[in-house]
Amino acid sequence: MTVLVVDIGTSSVRAAVVRDDASVDHAHQAPLLPATPAPGLVEFDPAAMARLAVELATAVLDAAGPVAAVGIANQRSSAVVWDRATGEPVGPGLGWQDLRTVGRCLELGGQGLRIAPNASATKLEHLLDAADPARERDLCAGTVDSWIAWHLSGGALHVTDASNAAVTGLLRADASGWAPHVLEALRIPESALPAVGDSTGLLGEATALPGSPPLAALVGDQQASLVGQGCVRRGMAKATFGTGGMLDLCLGPERPAFETRGGSGTFPIVAWRAGGTTTWGVEAVMLSAGTAVEWLRDDLGLVADAAETHDVAATCEDTAGVVFVPALLGLGTPYWDHGARGTLLGLSRGTGRAEVVRAVLEGVAHRGADLLEAAEADAGVEVGALRVDGGMSANSTFLAALARATGRRVEVSPVPEATTLGAGFLAGLAVGTWDGWDDVADAWSPRTVVEPDGSADRDRWREACARTRAWIPELSSISF
């Protein structure tokens, strides 16, 4: 039985079917680029997003025929507020990268309430303050999964799942429900928020689509990638190298001991919830991954396209001592230094284009190793092999560097973005396409496997990172 997945990314909307052999077919995609009306502001058009989701899903069904279920994977932490009666958004959607509420987050921190500006909480507060300062209107507030589920169901469902709710900043630490003290501080009516349910299970009918197939999965993008790469057992981990980088490690039913951030800079996440049982994980974050490659291409003009970085880097055996720290937007896990900045070290008169390009790829690989080490330390487990997806997973020079830096086997996803596959697995589990988690694990078939062909100098790397830090002290002093 095939399932349909609607996958809402940061810059595009996708739809495709996932077949029972774990292949992805009939993929349709359309761009939906966010707008940046001023520095630090990131907005999107919720109505256009919903319209594209329905149009692309319908086009896939027209091509593929009926499906057994529908799943939604989505960018996390973005925020939408809409009128319950009309279904019309009351303002722009605020993207997860939007930083307009940084000041509010600092204010709340002074009151003992720790909320990061990339979380949904203060974005929803901002939208509600603009549209309904007295909190008198009957509005719905939610994340992208809630917004799309509302439209696919013709307004019948206002729901989210635990994987999305847990990164809003509004959920109780044990993921048992919305946190009253946070809702009170932000004046967010609980009646406006979606019901929090399982990531896999029958939710209702997608009446906006031909045949009204059941909506059977909701999941955040990184957790969808975790499932899509078969990391459904304790100690299994994946890393997604896109614009930024995210490493997620599956733990099991026990929540990490730390509430907001571990000693090595990772965060507890709900990997998924099924049958009322929560599976937990930890997440490590790299702020610049593909962004560093885009910098080589768009700003320095050293390559014509991202794929060329492999060819250019391959023309030299090593970087000749050049080290690049990809802190273009600061350093995430394990440092969380927003004032760190990108650094090229070890330049000489003999440094050329190839050495710089290779140094950038190796720098991102070292940061991937940083994330893995942090996740292992905070989770108290050792990862045997690292599974990877995202745009940079197509670059063999990068993959070889990642294997050396981590000292682990790197297994590459058979599809560039495993989010669609993961949401497909979750929807299929709800309707019997797959019988259980063993089937999901057994479906893993990497496109390629890269073994370490040597080791990387991690001590020198840590010294390089130390030199990037606190370049802008006033930003380095900020912690969320």
In this structure, what are the phi and psi dihedrals at residue 291, rounded to the nearest 5 degrees? Answer: -55, -35
Q: Based on DSSP, count helices (H) and strands (E) in the chain, helices before strands.
A: 15, 21
For residue 270, pLDDT beyond 90: yes
Tokens found for residue 386: 């690292």
Distance CA(34)–CA(304), nearest Å, equals 24
Average pLDDT for 88-94? 98
| pLDDT above 90 as % of the chain | 98
State which amino acid sits at residue 114: R
Considering the entire predicted model, what is its pTM?
Answer: 0.96
pLDDT value, residue 343: 97
For residue 349, pLDDT beyond 90: yes
Chain segment 171-217, per-residue pLDDT in tens: 999 999 999 999 999 999 999 999 999 999 999 999 999 999 999 99
Beta bridge partners of 268: 282
Burial code of 271-291, b = ≥16 C-beta within 10 A, e = fewer?
Answer: bbbbeeebbbbbbbbbbbbbb
Chain segment 108-148, per-residue pLDDT in tens: 999 999 999 999 999 999 999 999 999 999 999 999 999 99
Tokens found for residue 433: 């396409």
For residue 479, pLDDT beyond 90: no
pLDDT value, residue 363: 98
For residue 480, pLDDT beyond 90: no
H/E run at residue 145: helix 144-152
Chain segment 358-412, per-residue pLDDT in tens: 999 999 999 999 999 999 999 999 999 999 999 999 999 999 999 999 999 999 9
54 within 8 A of 151, measured Cβ to Cβ = yes
pLDDT value, residue 321: 96
Q: Which of 114, 125, 197, 106 is nearest to 157 (CA)?
A: 197
State which amino acid sits at residue 365: A
Q: Is 134 exposed, middle or buried (0-12, 13-18, 19+ CB in 10 A)?
A: exposed
Domains and CATH numbers, the chain: 3-221 (3.30.420.40), 230-412+447-480 (3.30.420.40)
Distance CA(230)–CA(211), nearest Å, equals 30
In this structure, what are the phi and psi dihedrals at residue 394, rounded to the nearest 5 degrees? Answer: -85, -5
Residue-wise DSSP of 73-120: EE-SS-BEEEETTT--BSS-EE-TT--TTHHHHHHHHHTT----TTSS
Task: Let me know the angle formed at the C-alpha of 275 by 274 and 279, rounded to the nearest 5 degrees.
Answer: 40
Average pLDDT for 250-260? 94
Long-range contact pairs involving 439-442 (C-beta distance under 8 Å, separation at least 24): 440/227, 440/230, 440/232, 441/230, 441/232, 441/233, 442/230
Return the half-sphere exposure (C-beta side, CA atoms, 13 A cut-off) of residue 6: 31
6 within 8 A of 71, measured Cβ to Cβ = yes
In this structure, what are the phi and psi dihedrals at residue 37, rounded to the nearest 5 degrees? Answer: -65, -20
pLDDT value, residue 344: 97
Tokens found for residue 238: 């994946």
| pLDDT above 70 as % of the chain | 100
382 within 8 A of 224, measured Cβ to Cβ = no
Q: Which of 351, 347, 366 is nearest to 316 (CA)?
A: 351
Distance CA(272)–CA(279), nearest Å, equals 5
Spacing of C-alpha 288 from chain mean position: 13
Q: Is 140 exposed, middle or buried (0-12, 13-18, 19+ CB in 10 A)?
A: buried
Name the average pLDDT for the chain.
Answer: 97
Distance CA(425)–CA(423), nearest Å, equals 5
Tokens 């975790």, residue? 226
* Sequence-ordered list of residues with C-beta below 8 angstroms from that of 151, at least 6 positions apart, any chain: 50, 53, 54, 87, 208
In this structure, what are the phi and psi dihedrals at residue 18, rounded to the nearest 5 degrees? Answer: -115, 125
Q: Which of 418, 381, 389, 386 is nearest to 405 (CA)?
A: 386
Pairing relationship of beta strands 237-241 and 385-389 according to DSSP bridges:
parallel
pLDDT value, residue 81: 98
Q: Which of 30, 27, 143 is nearest to 82 (CA)?
A: 143
* Sequence-ordered list of residues with C-beta below 8 angstroms from that of 154, at least 6 positions apart, any chain: 207, 208
Chain segment 28-75, per-residue pLDDT in tens: 999 999 999 998 999 999 999 999 999 999 999 999 999 999 999 999
Chain segment 299-345, per-residue pLDDT in tens: 999 999 999 999 999 999 999 999 999 999 999 999 999 999 999 99
